[in-house]
Amino acid sequence: MNAIVRAEPQRSVSLERMILVVIILLSSIFPVDLFPGSLPTPQGADGQYSGKQGQIIVVKVPGDDPQADVQGKFLGRTVAFFADPRPGEAPGYVGLLGLDLQDEPGTHELAVDIKSGEQARHASYNILVVKERFRVEHLKLPKDKVDLDEKAVARWKSEQEQVKTALATDSRMKLWQGTFIEPVGGKRTGIFGSVRIMNGQPRNPHNGEDIGAPLGTDVVSTNDGIVRLTVDHIFSGKGVFVDHGLGFYSMYFHLSEVSVKDGDLVKAGQVVGKVGATGRATGPHLHWGVKLNGARVNPYALLDLPFKGAVQSATPAPVAEPTSGAGSPAQ
């Protein structure tokens, strides 16, 4: 009798070990979360997107609550999502993910949090950043436009802080609608992402597109938004920053005239200024720039977004050799 009693604990231990072995085997064969909430979502579990440096990726997250709060994180930058406005599309949320012209090539995670009422869930996407081959431009400019004295450097730093402060808080609403338009017609004379060698000195890559056009030509807003800041800066000259909501801004530099003021509401196609050669420029042209979630993206990528609305502008004219100026430095 005593022998039988002493054997029971051993038999119980053996049974527990057997159950543990079975659980481990099942979890290796069937990748199911046996203990909900105990493990994080594997990176990239919800899909993969890819794009080149400077491009915009449209990311779709499934969901049926139009009031849900959906936010993403990518390389330390916040990506705001909104209810998909496209007719015929499955319910869900859309985010415009900007790939900066200097984002590290390779696979990075876009982590998305979806909060609907008291419920919350997490999604993870792999984003493959593909290296773009940017051109090299050699420019010859007056020495005083390339080499700054101490006073000019101090002014430039102050202007950088002004822009940073003005764009520090993103509008929580999506202000743009439908299709984006080209702000002025003309030859592209300064190419996005190009590495610029000024008077033999390498400079920051060009963070926008230069469009050559006659002095005084109207410059229009690429879409609806709020004028966040108007400036007259040492490099970019007279310029306008338009806030399109959710971390998306467009910029128009080297203007001869500014036709709007801070806080103005503007519609797509509304005149915001006129083509000029103010700031660091050698001829009349528009520097058109875009920042999306803090990423510097090619503004012409806006024309390819899959949202319908007003008639889109014609395809840009072929690239010409740089003749109209040096654009502006990274803002």
pLDDT digits (tens, 9 = 90+) for 182-231: 999 998 887 888 877 766 676 778 889 999 999 999 999 999 999 999 99
Task: Report residue 129 CA to chain centroid gap.
Answer: 13
Question: What are the tokens at 309?
Answer: 């609305």
Contact between 316 and 300 (Cβ < 8 Å): yes
Lowest mean pLDDT among 29-33, 83-87, 267-271, 305-309: 29-33
Contacts by 145-152, CB closer than 8 A, 24 or more apart: 145/280, 145/326, 146/198, 146/199, 146/201, 148/234, 152/234
Question: What are the tokens at 254?
Answer: 């080297």
HSE-CB for 65 with a 13 A CA cutoff: 12
Contact between 212 and 203 (Cβ < 8 Å): no
Cα–Cα distance measured from residue 287 to residue 266, given in angstroms and rounded to the nearest whole number: 19
> Given this model, what pLDDT does residue 326 score?
37
Averaged over 249-258, what is the pLDDT?
A: 97
Q: pLDDT band at residue 317, thresholds of 50, 70 and 90?
A: very low
Averaged over 116-124, what is the pLDDT?
A: 93
- The pTM of this model reads 0.78
Averaged over 70-96, what is the pLDDT?
A: 94
> Given this model, what pLDDT does residue 253 score?
97
**246: exposed, middle or buried (C-beta count within 10 Å: 0-12, 13-18, 19+)?**
buried
> Given this model, what pLDDT does residue 179 score?
92
